[in-house]
A = this chain, B = another copy of it.
Amino acid sequence: MLLDAARETAAQAVGCRPDELVFTPSGADALHTGIAGALAGRRRVGRRLVVSAVEHSAVLHAAAAHREAGGAVTEVPVDRTGRVTAAAYETALSDDTALACLQSANHEVGTVQPVADVAGVCAGVGVPLLVDAAQSLAWGPVEGGWSLLAGSAHKWGGPPGVGLLAVRKGVRFAAPPPVGEREQGRSPGFENIPAIVAAAASLRAVRTEADAAAARLRSLVDRVRERVPELVPDVEVVGDPVRRLPHVVTFSCLYVDGEALLHALDRAGFSVSSGSSCTSSTLTPSHVLRAMGVLSEGNIRLSLPPTPDESVEADVERFLTVLPEAVREVREQLNAPTASPREARSVPDSSGLTVDALGTLCPLPVIELAKVIDDVPVGGVITVLADDEAARVDIPAWCEMRGQEFLGADGTEFRIRRVT
């Protein structure tokens, strides 16, 4: 009975029927089950899966598994704000497409996706759309004619250990084996009833306060987006400025080691996240920032809590006070170029100049490039040798920020033309 009540509460918040919703042990599990089940249910149609380039890693892992099992995957690109277009999905959908996936909003940069438009395009050709709603369920139901939807309780402030998967009636679905007796065979194992009850209750609770919290956080996020570039030189604020989650704000700082900045902010009492390569174990920058084509070095993500507490505003103000000095220190340690010197220095050879940054890690290749740009005349070409993965993202991003021309990369050789 507790489980039934929790299911009804969650279904109401999601906007589906209770018998369309099952609980899973995590959001990742809901995504994996939803994707595998929808692909299996439409296997006769074809084996193509369409996903955006900025989906959560759980979706991309499922896509990789599908590819390894012989399926096909099409990635839909995003613009510099991290947003897809319905037209891009329309192009990607083919006769053999079994399933399309799209997040309701991006987890790293907060950009809200045009889910209703994409759902319309999918419905037009009879392809089910699975929405990863993990980021947005706290704020409201997902609009539009989606077919499947996944969520994660700890993302809406509920307990860990609970995900949810909604599968609309009429959607072809074959639960991935092994199939258990519980949750319509869509989630094996003993249900975590205390956590499920807490998850449903917390979803209802956060929804009650969602509009007020969103308005409050939006003004704080806007303040961060406006003030950070004023306070810190050479910063790129990323993500759509308007169509965005209320509580997430992300920016990247040129010539900054994200790991070092994270530690500096941690010492000041701020626990923030980063999509920089140097902060992860994989040494590759965030796939989201890469797909957007924006700077990945010195990347910082603030997630503001939805509590109606005045200390949040005070914390944001204190963050804005602490940040400029923290960035300055990290840059100083790296001997980064200071903002805009821009007078031409010695010109060794007008035909070009090569900088060897092989073996150095983000943000050093970009720093080396910035240091020598004024050593070549306008029109001159610099070649940077760099084998750090982040250079593929950050050298073009630096060119974009500085108004220089990125000529392209060939293996570990990056070519840049000085324009200004």
Contact = CB atoms under 8 A, between A and B. Distances in A.
Interface of A: 25-29, 32, 57-58, 61-62, 64-65, 68-69, 152, 154, 159-163, 177-181, 188-195, 281
A280 B290 CA distance: 53
26 contacts: A25-B26, A25-B161, A26-B190, A27-B189, A27-B190, A28-B180, A28-B189, A29-B188, A32-B188, A57-B181, A58-B178, A58-B188, A61-B177, A61-B179, A61-B180, A62-B177, A64-B178, A65-B179, A154-B190, A160-B190, A160-B193, A160-B194, A161-B162, A161-B195, A163-B189, A192-B195
A64 B191 CA distance: 22
A27 B159 CA distance: 19
Nearest to A59: B178
Nearest to A280: B181
Contacts of A160: 190-195
A174 to B, nearest CB: 11
B28 A188 contact: yes
B189 A58 contact: yes
Given A26-B189, A163-B189, 10 more contacts: A25-B26, A28-B189, A32-B178, A58-B178, A61-B180, A62-B177, A65-B177, A154-B190, A160-B190, A161-B162
B161 A192 contact: yes
A3 to B, nearest CB: 12
B163 A64 contact: no
Contacts of A179: 61, 65
Contact of A177 (B57, B69, B195): B69
Contacts of A27: 189-190
Nearest to A192: B161
